[in-house]
Structures are given as structure tokens and as C-alpha cells.
């Protein structure tokens, strides 16, 4: 025994993911994203991530090196019952600890197997081996217990690889042992989601504001992350006081919201489909979709949200002009004069979908997703979106998107949902004006 | 100058991904999967992957350590023009090389900017710095050239982080400098894709076969990878002779195909939607989809494939019974007596979609994706799939899927496409019988 446990603060961490399959082209480590999120909340910064195979020499070296650098080492994977699961033995060897079988774990494993009317394979006894002075972390969803080991001021945590086992175990740890060893400062985050404007445009609109919030106390840091059709501003601040942190985050969010206006659609983690769904539910509107180049993706994204059956009535994929005419009732003359990819046809498709579904609102999407089908006048990437309703309102937009077929379809879907959002928001403003006036 | 370049064989590699954003919960390194695939083809094994932030000390240490262990080090990222891009300088320092500005790169950068009618920012000159004895790797898609450096028998390759820049550069390298430094053995792979059977069932069917192929020369290794609705057998073999490798892979694939039968749908990388699309095109059939719980995903997956407009006519998302009746013409009596989630309704939806689209084949999907809507008789996860056509043929299936809403919808989509595939395959067999007889 090396005496009482340390109470030194943990501020830096490294993560090691163990498994030869993680060194193939087919699997990547995702546990570390989850672990990093929880550590960051505790104000612990991840300095390095390493991925090693099921090899005692490589793993031992990685563990030794990491303990030279970081306060906390989280090792994910390699706690299974088979011969290539080497994490327990390797870490014990690096720390110079003896492994002993814990009879209560053996008993627990036997009971677990018996409950499924199986006999425990002898292999699984390995999972009951515990290094001296280790704390056993219960695994409610699997046979591999986790381990918490202290060595001087440093901590090593061993967790099983399957995310559904690791995640609840690490969350429990973050609320208990890790929280008590972290500094009193915690990390608080807010994510602002923007659509309809590109990354550089969003930076241009917001930089002066977020630069200023870097100077306050506690300072608010901002990272801009862009993916197709979506720009996110990640605000974060470290503070010992929750009130102080939320105070600056709320104020910074308010100022950024003011400059972003309607382009900002979420400050609380909601996706665009969720925001649109809530606006539809608020007003009791039902929606129908008529889509061509997006091939079902607009409907699929709306239906992604649990409870969406209360506001999504129907979606019709109308690839050919024949179906646009016959099912959505698009005027053949319009298809000839304006072309299938036109705002007039997008609106007619929206109108047709609304009639088919007998809904308040219709959405229409038509475009050239490629790789074929483009022309000089309407090159690949040309997409027209229309929204009709509620009532006689109608709105359309044409966009020219870059990228391949998948990217164009994704951007078209995002644009259709965003146009619907803006139409619904305008009603909010109008109602507020009426009420206010 | 250290004399002529080494010709020692490269057999082990490490990959370092550089970027502070890769140590947040929001971004993960994916370049290493691409790099690993190309290295494995050359018979080079990846022993470790490391992810470090934009920090010269951390990166320098990672580079030094990796060069102690591996023959080849690939560093991805940190070659941009800004102050936090430190890879070039850090690696040069570790190797003790002086950086010199290469006037031809400066000129190339200026021309690149001029072509867009921009002036080159002075920052970008950093990208023209080249360490002594380095080979410059052309980057056709960006401003950051890559670098190839040799130190004794070891090689360090620096590549820009954006995948669309890195991928063509690394592919070019794999065909030239890397190929000439790799051992004559190459890795050859084949991926067998199976649906309609779970992982353990597939293992049971195939294990005896693939165990035997482990003993041949050259030996064929097999890895089983499972994801929802899909089991993949990855066969691989290392050999100096392409003929020998393809010989054993072909033979092993043939034997595995025999035991897997119709559950095997692809041995050449094609996805299920591609296979279904090719069967439809072969027979000149057009298809229409009527889907409820999958909310557009079946149609979207069919339409994912370029050229699908020649065989996908329409898709109707019919969430409510009202739309099932009105648009798809499902008999109200059927909905009452059998319930909306029933094989009879799935077939009626398929029939309705076929009528709406005036196609040869119709697909119907109805089910309870959850989280709400389940009953004792039809719990969450119950899904019915129907296929009608060509002609009077009809087939239906009921499944009980585990998991959450997203997983159930994914599994339902996979099952619908697979049922269609099996119907189309049966026609192949029947035609073969007629022809044979």
C-alpha cells in the first residue's frame, strides 16, 4: 500500500484506444469523442490521443509515455475475456502491481451468465483479475469491469471498448471520482447553429462580437466549425461559478444572435428538422413534400424526429415529368416552358404535394444533382425550392450548389427545410406585430 | 547532403494527425483510414496512430518517438499558412534540417492566387519553405505542398489536412515513391457483403471454410465486421505474385459464396442499392415505393445511385391511414381488420405505389419505428415489408427489430431492399432454368 490517495488536481489527459481493428481502414475510434466531451466539462484538456493494437509491447510503451506527460490516462478497450485482450495485464505490469482474482467479481460474472442460462466460460475469469490498490468500476451492461488506478498524483482509468458499456460507466465516473479530482473550474459550452450563410460570411458577421467576448472575465472562446449547409459557433468558457459562466455565455449568445438575425436557427443543440418540427407543431400546421432531386431526403429528415407523424402528412418523390404531372398535377405546359428545374415547377410541386396530402403547407424541390443531366443554362448543382401555404402564401428560391451528387442533395435538403423555417418564422413576427400593435 | 537515398524496405508505419480541433469532441481524424488503406495495399502495416494539437513541443515529441519505432511516418495536417500551422518547422527541427524558401513554389503560389484574381497574402510564403534534402510533393488542389524526407533508412511524409487535397497526393505517392520502397509483397483484399443473417449466424456458416483458407499458401485471413443489417467478410492475403493472391482470393470467395447462397449480395464493393439498381436495369423494370415508418429512406437509398432516374419512378411517404387510403388506395377495411402494420397493408401499399407510378414493381413498408406507437401485439420494432410485381407476383415479410428509431428505420430499409433483390434474383434463376431446359 502506498498510503492515502492523492488529491492533486487533474488538468491534462491522454486517451489510448486499444485494438488491432482500430489500425485497419475499416474502424475508427469514436469513444475518445465521448470521453473528451465529459473531460472538457470538468475543465480537463485532452493533450493527445493514441491508437495502438492488441500488442503488449506497443501498449506498455504508450501507457508509460502517456504517464510521463498527462495527469490522467484513459485507456479504452482490451478488457475482454480473450487472449488478445491485454490492457489489464499490461497496465498492471507498467505500474508494478500484482493481479489477484477478486472472488466477488467471479461470483457476479457467474450470476450474470446464469441469468441467461449459460455457463460462464473459464476465459471470463480473466475479467475478475484486479491489480493491487485498484478500484473496480461496475459495468452494468457487460462482463468487463473497469478499473481506477492511482500512481503518485496520476490516475489511470481502464474502460471496456464497446460504446454502450463505456459511456454510462464514464458518465458515472465523471460525476463522482473524476469530478472530485478535477479543478473547481468547469467548462461550459453553447453551440449556435447557422444556415443560409457560408463560413466566411458568418465569421465576417460575428468576429467583432466574439473577439470582444474573448477579453471579458471569464473569457468566452469561440470556434467556428462548418459542414455542408451548416455553420456552428462553439462558445465555451471556464469558470468555477456556474452563474458567472452562464452569465457571459448568455450575454455573448444574445449579441451574436442580434448580428446573425434569422440565419441563426438554434442555440440549444436542436437540429434544423427539430426547429422546423417545433414551429409546425406550435401553429398546428401539417406539411407535405414533393421532391425530385433530393429523392426522399427532405421527407426523411422531417420524419427523423420522434413525434413527426403529427405534422408530416406525406411526401412524394417525383423524379420523372410523368409523375410530376400525374401525381402532383404539375401543368405539362409549365414543364415545357419553364423546364422541370425552375421556381415555377418547384412551387407547382409544393402545391401538388399540399393537395395530395390535404395539408396546410407544401414543399417542392427540383434540381440537377448530377453527375449527368446538367446543361449550360442549368448546370449540375442548380436547385429550385418552393414553399406554399399556409393559405395563399408562396415563396421560391434558386441556388447553385458546388460538390458531388451527395453534397448537392444534402445542400438542397437543408435549403428546403430552411426556407420552410423562414416562412414559419415570418408568421411569428407578423403575429407579434399584430399583438404588439 | 547525406549521400544517396536509402533503398531499405518500409514495412511498418505510424500516422500522426495534427490539429487542436482533432482533440475536441467535435472532430475526428478520418485521413488515417484512407492512408492506412493505401499503406496496407503496399503490405505496410500501421502500428500506431497519434493525434496531437497545434503545439510544437507535443508534435516534436510525437515525431521523435514515432521515428524510434516505425520505418515510415505520415504526418497529416499543420501545413497551412497560419501561425498555428507548425508541422513543417517542427519536423525540420527534429530532423536538424534548415528551411529555405523555394522561389519556384512562391512563384507557383502567386500564379495560383493570380488565376483567381487575388493577391497572395504574405503568410502563404511559409508554405514555400522547404527543409534541406526534402522532395516537394505537388498539391493540385490546394496551396500547401507536401514533403518527403528521408533520415537514414526512415521516411517522413508531410501532407496537408483537408482530405480532398491529401487523398490524391497520397494516392500518387503510393504509386511511385512508396511503391518503390515497399516490400515486393502486396496486400490484396476482397469484401463479401451479406444481409438477412446476423453476425454469429454468418460466422457459423462460414467459419469452417475460412479457417481452412488460413492454412493455404499464401494464407487468406478473414475478419468479420458487422453493422446494422449488414455483415462483411474481409478476406485478405499478402503475396508477391498478383496471380497467386487473386487465385486464392477467388477460390476462397467461391467457396464462401457457395455456403452463403442468396444471403451474399456483393463481392466487389457494390452496395445493396447498387446491386438492386443493376438487377432492375438488367430487366428493364421500373420501381415505385410506398413507405410509412421509413419515411422516405427506402426511396432515398435507391435514388442515392447515379443513374437511378432510369428505374426509380416515384416514392410516396404515407404516414397516416388517410394518405394510405387516399394516395395509395389501401382498402380502409384492411386497415381496420389487419391494422396499419400488417403484411396485407404492406402489400397493398406496394400495389398502390405501383399504380401511382405505373411501374412494373412496387415496394411497401409499414411498421412501428418508435419511440411511441407500440402495442403488446405489435411492439416498437415490428416492421412489415411487401413487394409486388413484376406481373402478379407478391411477397411479404414481417420482422421484429431491436434498437432505437434510427436503427429500426435503417434495418427496415435494408430489409425492403433485400426483399426486392431476392424477388429479382428468383427471376434470374427461373430464366436460367428455362434457358437450360
Give the Cα separation of A296 and B409 in Å (integer): 14
By Cβ distance, the residue of B223, B314, B358 closest to A316 is: B314
For residue A89, which phi and psi values (nearest 5 degrees)? -65, -40
Q: Best of B20, B25, B55, B365 to disrupt the A interface by mutation (most A CBs within 10 Å)? A: B25
Residues in chain A with CB shorter than 8 Å from the CB of B234 are 26
A243 with A369, same domain: the answer is no
Q: In terms of Cα–Cα distance, which of A74, A87, A68, A70 is closest to A38? A: A74
Q: Has residue B157 got a pLDDT over 50?
A: yes
Other CB atoms within 10 Å distance of the CB of residue A81 = 16
Name the pLDDT band for A388 (thresholds 50, 70, 90): very high
Cβ–Cβ gap A33/B40 under 8 Å: no
Q: Considering only CB atoms, which chain A residues are within 8 Å of B371? A: 306
Q: Is residue B280 part of a domain?
A: yes
Q: Is residue A7 part of a domain?
A: no
Whether residue A230 lies inside any domain: the answer is yes
Does the pLDDT value for residue A36 go beyond 50? yes
Radius of gyration of chain B (CA): 28
Calculate mean pLDDT across residues A316-323: 90
Domain count, chain A: 3
Chain A: closest CA distance from residue B231 (Å) = 13
Which of B235, B266, B297 terminates a domain? The answer is B266
| Cross-chain residue pair A24–B34, CB shorter than 8 Å | no
Smallest Cα distance from A405 to chain B, Å: 8
Cα three-residue angle A37-A40-A45, rounded to 5 degrees? 120
Could you say which of A294, A303, A323 has the minimum Cβ distance to residue B314?
Answer: A323
Last residue within a domain, chosen from A266, A300, A328: A266
Residues of B in contact with A234 (CB under 8 A): 26
| CB-based contact B34 A25, cutoff 8 Å | yes
Q: Closest chain B residue to A373 measured between Cα atoms?
A: B307
**B131 assigned to some structural domain:** yes
Which chain B residues touch A48 with a CB distance below 8 Å?
23, 50-53, 58, 62
The answer to whether residue B331 is domain-embedded is yes
User: Which residue in the set B26, B48, B225 is minimally distant from A52, CB to CB?
Assistant: B48
Residues B77 and B218 in one domain: no
Q: Which residue has the higher pLDDT, A198 or A193?
A: A193
**B411-414: long-range pairs with CB below 8 Å, 24+:** B411/B228, B411/B229, B411/B383, B412/B293, B412/B294, B412/B297, B412/B298, B412/B365, B412/B367, B412/B369, B412/B383, B412/B385, B413/B229, B413/B294, B413/B297, B413/B298, B413/B301, B413/B365, B414/B195, B414/B228, B414/B229, B414/B230, B414/B272
- Chain A residues whose beta carbon lies within 8 Å of the beta carbon of residue B23: 36, 45-49
The answer as to whether A431 is a domain residue is: yes
Domain CATH number, residue B224: 3.30.70.600
> In 3-state terms, what secondary structure has residue B340?
coil
How far A287 CA sits from the closest chain B CA (Å)? 12
Nearest chain A residue to B371 by CA distance is A306
Mark yes or no for CB contact A225/B371 under 8 Å: no
Of B181, B196, B224, the last residue of a domain is: B181
Task: Please judge whether B302 and A295 are an interchain contact, meaning their C-beta atoms are less than 8 angstroms apart.
Answer: yes
Mean pLDDT of B144-149: 95
Q: Are residues B142 and B69 part of one domain?
A: yes
* Cβ contacts of A37 on chain B, cutoff 8 Å: 25
Mean pLDDT confidence for B180-209: 90
Is the Cβ pair B320, A297 closer than 8 Å? no
Angle made by CA atoms A118, A121, A123, in degrees to the nearest 5: 155
Q: Starting at the edge strand that comes first in sequence, how are the strands of the sheet with B186-194 ordered?
A: B221-227, B230-239, B186-194, B264-266
* Residue A6 scores a pLDDT above 80: no
CA B355 – CA A323 distance, rounded (Å): 11
Question: What pLDDT is recorded for position A79?
Answer: 92
Model's pTM, two decimal places?
0.82
Residue in B13, B16, B17, B23 to test binding to A, most A beta-carbons within 10 Å: B23
- What distance in Å separates the CA atoms of residue A93 and residue A83, rounded to the nearest whole number? 16
Q: What is the pLDDT of residue B437?
A: 45
Q: What is the pLDDT of residues A211-244, one digit of tens each?
A: 999 999 899 998 888 888 899 999 999 898 999 9
- Minimal Cα distance from A21: which residue of B? B223
The predicted complex's ipTM stands at 0.80
Residues B49 and B110 in one domain: yes
Closest residue in A to B21 (Cα) is A223
Task: Please report the pLDDT score of residue B429 as a whole number.
Answer: 67
Do B171 and B47 belong to one domain? yes
- Please indicate, yes or no, whether residues B165 and B192 belong to a single structural domain of this protein: no
Length of chain A: 437
Question: Which of B57, B319, B410 should be substituted to probe chain A, the one whose Cβ sees the most A Cβ atoms within 10 Å?
Answer: B319
Asked if B21 and A225 come within 8 Å (Cβ–Cβ), the reply is yes
The domain that holds B62 is classified in CATH as 3.40.980.10
Of B24, B33, B316, the CB nearest to A316: B316
d(CA A150, CA A169): 18
Q: Give the per-residue pLDDT at A209.
A: 92
Q: pLDDT at position B227, please?
A: 84
Dihedral of CA atoms B403, A166, B13, B50 in degrees, nearest 10, equals 120
CA distance A179 to A170: 11
B219 and B260 together in one domain: yes
pLDDT of B277 > 50? The answer is yes
Q: Is residue A246 part of a domain?
A: yes
Domain annotation covers residue B7: no
Does the beta-carbon distance from A317 to B322 stay under 8 Å?
Answer: no
Residues B309 and B247 in one domain: no
Q: What is the pLDDT of residues B31-76, one digit of tens each?
A: 999 999 999 999 999 999 999 999 999 999 999 999 999 999 999 9
What CA–CA distance (Å, rounded) separates B27 from A165?
A: 22
Q: Do A25 and B40 touch (CB under 8 A)?
A: yes
Q: For A222-231, B335-344, B359-368, which range has the lowest pLDDT when averaged over its residues?
A: A222-231
> What range does the domain containing B249 cover?
186-266
- Cell numbers for B2: 547525406
**Tell me, what's the pLDDT at A429?**
67
Instruction: Please tell me whether residues A291 and A307 are part of one structural domain.
Output: yes
CATH number at residue A279: 3.90.950.20
B326 and B401 in a common domain: yes
**How many CB atoms are closer than 10 A to CB A437?**
5
CB contact under 8 A, A315 and B309: no
Please tell me whether residues B21 and B107 are part of one structural domain.
yes
A171 & A212 share domain = no
* DSSP code at position B377: S
Min CA distance, A222 vs chain B (Å)? Answer: 12
CB within 8 Å of A365: residues ≥ 6 apart: A289, A290, A291, A292, A293, A294, A298, A346, A349, A383, A384, A385, A386, A412, A413, A416
Does position B377 have pLDDT exceeding 50, yes or no? Answer: yes
Amino acid at each position: 500500500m502506498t498510503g492515502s490517495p492523492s488529491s492533486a488536481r487533474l488538468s491534462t489527459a491522454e486517451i489510448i484506444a486499444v485494438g488491432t481493428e482500430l489500425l485497419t481502414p475499416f474502424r475508427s475510434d469514436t469513444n475518445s469523442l465521448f470521453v473528451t466531451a465529459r473531460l472538457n466539462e470538468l475543465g480537463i484538456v485532452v493533450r493527445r490521443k493514441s491508437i495502438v493494437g492488441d500488442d503488449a509491447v506497443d501498449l506498455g510503451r504508450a501507457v508509460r509515455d502517456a504517464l510521463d506527460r498527462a495527469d490522467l490516462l484513459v485507456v479504452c478497450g482490451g478488457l475482454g475475456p480473450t487472449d488478445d485482450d491485454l490492457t489489464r495485464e499490461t497496465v498492471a505490469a507498467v505500474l508494478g502491481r500484482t493481479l489477484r482474482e477478486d472472488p466477488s467479481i467471479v461470483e457476479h460474472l457467474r450470476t450474470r451468465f446464469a441469468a441467461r442460462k449459460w455457463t460462464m466460460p473459464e476465459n471470463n475469469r480473466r475479467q475478475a483479475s484486479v491489480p493491487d490498490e485498484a478500484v473496480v468500476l461496475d459495468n452494468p451492461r457487460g462482463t468487463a469491469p473497469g478499473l481506477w488506478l492511482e500512481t503518485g498524483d496520476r490516475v489511470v482509468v481502464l474502460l471496456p471498448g464497446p460504446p454502450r458499456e463505456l459511456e454510462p460507466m464514464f458518465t458515472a465516473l465523471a460525476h463522482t471520482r473524476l469530478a472530485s479530482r478535477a479543478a473547481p473550474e468547469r467548462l461550459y459550452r453553447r453551440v449556435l447553429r447557422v444556415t443560409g450563410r457560408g463560413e466566411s460570411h458568418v465569421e465576417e458577421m460575428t468576429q467583432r462580437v466574439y473577439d470582444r467576448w474573448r477579453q471579458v472575465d471569464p473569457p468566452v472562446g469561440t470556434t467556428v466549425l462548418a459542414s455542408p449547409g451548416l455553420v456552428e459557433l462553439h462558445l465555451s468558457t471556464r469558470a468555477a461559478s456556474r452563474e458567472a459562466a452562464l452569465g457571459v455565455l448568455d450575454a455573448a449568445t444574445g449579441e451574436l444572435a442580434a448580428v446573425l438575425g434569422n440565419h441563426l436557427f438554434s442555440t440549444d443543440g436542436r437540429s434544423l428538422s427539430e426547429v422546423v418540427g417545433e414551429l409546425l407543431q406550435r401553429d398546428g400546421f401539417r406539411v407535405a413534400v414533393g421532391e425530385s432531386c433530393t429523392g426522399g431526403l427532405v421527407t426523411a429528415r422531417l420524419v427523423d424526429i420522434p413525434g413527426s407523424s403529427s405534422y408530416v402528412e406525406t411526401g412524394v418523390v417525383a423524379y420523372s415529368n410523368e409523375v410530376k404531372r400525374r401525381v402532383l398535377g404539375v401543368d405539362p405546359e409549365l414543364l415545357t416552358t419553364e423546364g422541370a428545374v425552375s421556381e415555377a415547377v418547384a412551387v407547382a410541386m409544393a402545391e401538388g404535394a399540399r393537395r395530395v396530402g390535404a395539408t396546410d403547407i407544401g414543399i417542392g424541390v427540383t434540381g440537377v444533382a448530377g453527375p449527368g443531366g446538367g446543361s449550360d443554362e442549368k448546370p449540375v448543382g442548380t436547385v429550385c425550392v418552393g414553399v406554399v401555404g399556409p393559405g395563399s402564401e408562396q415563396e421560391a428560391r434558386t441556388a447553385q450548389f458546388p460538390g458531388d451528387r451527395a453534397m448537392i442533395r444534402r445542400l438542397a435538403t437543408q435549403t428546403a427545410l430552411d426556407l420552410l423555417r423562414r416562412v414559419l418564422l415570418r408568421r411569428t413576427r407578423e403575429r407579434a406585430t399584430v399583438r404588439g400593435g
